[in-house]
Amino acid sequence: MKKGFLIAAILLVAVSLTNTASAQIKIGYFDDQSVISLFPGIQEKLDSVLRSYAQDTLQDEYNYTLKDYQVKDSIFKKDSADLSKRPKALEMATTDLNKLKYKLINWQQYQQQAMQQKEEGLLLPYRQKVAAALSEVVAENKYSLVLKAESLSPYAQPSIADNLTIRVAMKLKLNLPKEVVEAFKAATGGGTTAAPAAAKAAPAKKG
């Protein structure tokens, strides 16, 4: 189902329920990446740790794997005549060698996956904080449904008042750009204790 049709269907259900059962359904939208990017120093921390991980841990692993392959390949070639007389031993030696060869040939992909896993591990504590804050925001403001900001139709612009990215950032006392804070105040008619960020701070997405 296309994203636009999905949003339209959800809105249609909301309108229908409101008309028939007098139920108020509130729909918010949220982007966790935008919130995470607002944590002070997070990008610098990620860059530093990942750079060290790539240069030290992964480089050591590559060097060890390469040396291991070279040694086993040399032994395999030296003992090939003897191994040919022992089918099971030949199969095991060939399989072991091919695994190392495959890892080296596909090292770039292996390294990328390892880097992604490392990054996710670093981001996990932040994601947990964001998830807890989102749960509080949803409960406090009685939202019935939360959509990913990226799933919103480009033809429908929801109110900034329902941008839960902003509400969660405020809940966590993260700095937001001044223009975002002012637009949110104007839409909600309320104030906030969230301080405006410096000009380089990333604004929360508005869908």
18 domain-assigned: yes
85 domain-assigned: yes
198 domain-assigned: no
59 domain-assigned: yes
Q: Residue 116: pLDDT band by 50, 70, 90 thresholds?
A: very high
Q: Residue 29: left if φ>0, alpha if ψ -120 to 50, beta else—which one?
A: beta
User: Containing domain of residue 93, as a range?
Assistant: 3-188
Q: Residue 41: left if φ>0, alpha if ψ -120 to 50, beta else—which one?
A: left
The number of angstroms, rounded, from the C-alpha of 144 to the middle of its chain's C-alpha atoms is 24
Tens of pLDDT, residue by residue over 38-59, are 999 999 999 999 999 999 999 9
203 domain-assigned: no
72 domain-assigned: yes
201 domain-assigned: no
Q: Are 153 and 8 in contact (CB under 8 A)?
A: yes
Mean of pLDDT values over 195-206: 40
More confident residue, 23 or 67: 67
Question: What's the whole-model pTM score?
Answer: 0.70
Tens of pLDDT, residue by residue over 80-101, are 888 778 889 888 989 999 999 9
Tens of pLDDT, residue by residue over 122-175, are 999 999 999 999 999 999 999 999 998 888 877 777 889 999 999 999 999 999
Determine the Cα–Cα distance for residues 180 and 204; give it in Å rounded to an integer.
8
Total structural domains within the chain: 1
Indicate the SS3 state at residue 23: coil
